[in-house]
A and B are shown apart, each in its own frame.
Chain A
Amino acid sequence: MGMHKSREAATKFFALQGDRQAMNPSLTIYRGLKHAGIDFVISVPCVNLQKLLDLVGKDPEIIHVPVTREEEGAGLCAGAWMAGRRSALLMQNSGLGNSINALASLDILYGIPLLMIISHRGGAGEPIVGQVPMGRLTAPLLDAMEIPHFSPTCDEAEDKVNDAWSLAAAGRKPVAVLLDLDFWRGA
């Protein structure tokens, strides 16, 4: 639903932006979301997500609902998907820890697709010590839950976001795109 409209709007948007911002990390993810036809975004903020959240919030084709906790967001995304929407959850990897039971006993149990766009904190160059434990545990947790995950570079990210949604929709399961500190520096 809304696929053609989304593509048209995305094309128009890209034409306006031009190629000079092609390497902008936030814009790259936004383009990926638009190409995937995502029209329902739930978010809990991370400092690295602020520009992306601005882009999503200003897009009249996307219903954007900031929530209080990522697990709550997983519930909203599930309901929105059952309503015929394409939903994405934008959050920090700390929020993955807050969402484990919902991912397992809601999304995986019922076969509900979910695109998770995750700011992956706690890796190389992380200044906040509190981010480090979940930084290390993020990929192992996803592996343990058999949730596919990708860690694209800025160049790859637009296609990877679109691919991740396709995989989620076809496999009826959650899929994660992990965006680490290097990604947000535009590396």
Chain B
Amino acid sequence: MKRMEAIALAAETAQAQGALLISNIGFPSRELYAARDRPENFYMLGSMGLASSIGLGLALGLPCRRVIVLDGDGSVLMNLGTLATIAHYAPENYLLVILDNCCYGSTGSQPTCTHLGTDLAAIALAAGVKNVENVDNAQDLTRALIGRGVVVVKVEPGNANVPVIDLSSEEIIERFMRSARPTPSS
């Protein structure tokens, strides 16, 4: 499965579920923007490694909203502690989707350690995450997107030919927050 296909499927499911969707830095966010832009998408333009943490903060802060995070193998390897924190808090409304293409796809496809066999699903399980799935096709991913916890999706390396996101960071966050909750605070 191409990553863009997995992202499009996740975006379709998120829309059907009314879920908030947090997407990882680089091409994954661009692919999501091209596949299905919604105000409920938070395109993380910087802070590599933190998509799962931003999503966890949202899920804990807004227990009534479902939150799906689209992360990558390189990014999760950069913030492995996140799996332990997710395991400990395990909000019901939270699903971390790790799109594992075994490389740093946005920087020239340099191999990550998952290319050498590092198993992120096994790490998530060992960290204490109870609901962990491994999928590699659209049918299984569709089923897994209903669940919670962590799902690792094996995808092919390579980026879709999609443009950069032509929204400012202000636009991204303002429309995201308006859609996430009715009235802003602070």
Residue ranges of A at the interface with B (Cβ–Cβ < 8 Å): 1, 40, 42, 63, 65, 67-69, 71-87, 101-102, 104-106, 109-113, 169
Contact = CB atoms under 8 A, between A and B. Distances in A.
Q: Which 7 A-B pairs have the closest CB atoms?
A: A105-B46, A79-B57, A68-B81, A75-B53, A83-B61, A75-B50, A76-B57
Contact of A113 (B47, B56, B58, B186): B186
A84 B57 contact: no
B61 A104 contact: no
Given A67-B81, A68-B84, 18 more contacts: A40-B57, A65-B60, A67-B85, A69-B81, A72-B49, A72-B53, A74-B47, A78-B57, A79-B61, A82-B176, A82-B180, A84-B61, A84-B180, A85-B185, A86-B185, A101-B47, A106-B47, A106-B54
A112 B62 CA distance: 17
A91 to B, nearest CB: 14
B42 interface: yes
B57 to A, nearest CB: 3
18 contacts: A1-B185, A63-B60, A68-B81, A71-B50, A72-B82, A74-B53, A75-B50, A75-B52, A75-B57, A76-B60, A78-B50, A78-B57, A79-B54, A82-B58, A83-B65, A84-B180, A84-B184, A84-B185
Interface stretch (B10-18, B146-154, B167-175): B167-175
Contacts of A67: 53, 81, 85
Contacts of A84: 61-62, 180-181, 183-185
Interface of B: 22, 42, 44-62, 65, 79, 81-82, 84-85, 89, 169-170, 172-173, 176-177, 180-181, 183-186
Nearest to B62: A83
A79 B55 contact: yes
> Which of B45, B47, B79, B181 is packed against the most chain A CB atoms within 10 Å?
B47
A30 to B, nearest CB: 20
Contact of A83 (B57, B170, B173): B57
Nearest to A81: B186
Contacts of A63: 60-61
B181 A110 contact: no
A74 B49 CA distance: 11
A73 B55 CA distance: 12
B186 A65 contact: no
Contacts of B54: 75-76, 78-79, 82, 106
B53 A105 contact: no
Contact of A77 (B48, B51, B57, B62): B57
A63 to B, nearest CB: 6
B47 A65 contact: no
B143 to A, nearest CB: 26
Contacts of B81: 67-69, 72
B85 A74 contact: no
Contact of B172 (A78, A80, A110): A110
A73 B62 CA distance: 17
A42 B186 CA distance: 18
B46 A106 contact: yes
